[in-house]
Structure 1
């Protein structure tokens, strides 16, 4: 059998192959033909640029990242992509679906690609302390917390929604932590802010002289100091810790000064008494 005709598989088209043969007596067969249609049957492919799904901040401009498209025969078809679906309105919270379609020159459609865009408030509010983050106060004093303020990019001032946890016991020495939390209307929680309140003994002992002041003492007689007492708001009686400076020379007429002082366990010094 002889075959005539060719097929160029690299070029779209219709090709005919003819088949014939003669027997030994020279009789020719009826020619038989085969038609071969070379077609582009492969669809292009679409590749999204950027993420899907995509979370987009409410009230900020939205610019779509787009997509690319390639076909085995036509090459880059990105310019022919048709974008459809729902237009993203970044001023309205919601879920938007964008579609991407393209076909090659022979009408083969690509598998449709979609991008889901979630428009919402994804930004957390910010808490700002009023006053210092670390405060030292005296034992037994009254503590009034300065509080905090909170601002959100969508809801504005949400200071009134701040939740404060923790407490300060001004009657007990220690370090106390106050925690401030808040969430916006979309449920975004702020980073908690803390304040440390240190309650400490800030008062020194009080010294009280025993006996008269001044004292008139007879020359050339033995002088015995009547001493003093000292009371502290935390440590109680600290009289035994009183230090005395100065001397009295009972053999010499003159005026002598004795000074009394003491510290409590927190290092607070009493007012010197003479």
Structure 2
């Protein structure tokens, strides 16, 4: 089935015209501006994730999810993404509060949504901070973000124009195989261009591998959020961003790509 129609493109571009310079400016300046931006966006995304859980019938502990998200961002700003102390503290606090909550309700579902909301919107997004702190961190973070945006845009445009065969109709009827391939091609092409523009110390074959990995991660992230929205019975995670929906609708791909780039750079031992 076809992707969303191109009639939404002007709204999407208008939102991007405001959001992209803000994001690039924060990435360029680094601390504390990037930390503040990531913290605010993480809280907004966590609130949306909590609402998705509520739409699916859960009763998550919203204040605790927000606090856990803030804690994960805080630990990441100190160079410790997904710090065991922050994660275990979130789990323990969730279980403790569920024990004393009345009526107890569905403790498994409520607890899972509480923890997952913080890890998904706060924990994954917070990888932007230690990635920025690496040698050439500004360039690596721009590489991750711009390539992800290229994957999303290429998939949207190609899918809208040429999409015929559904990728995952039960999850997201608008996603097509044509759009998926277009996203992968756009991701690799953008990664190759950014390697040259940003001066990244990465061999060309590895650039292609990074581009493919980011393209796959971005589109899996998109499908994952679509699955959550379908469970909640909603089209968009929120209404904050015209043409895009909510924060999660814009960052669903980014939060999957950031850990891929962070660990990829670390495992390869790349130094500026």
- In terms of fraction of residues, the more helix-rich structure is 2
Q: Give the TM-score of the pair, scaled to structure 2.
A: 0.17
Structure with greater Cα Rg: 1
**Structure 1 length normalisation: TM-score?**
0.17
Q: Relative contact order (C-alpha < 8 Å, sep 6+): which is higher?
A: 2
Whose strand fraction is larger, Structure 1's or Structure 2's?
Answer: 1
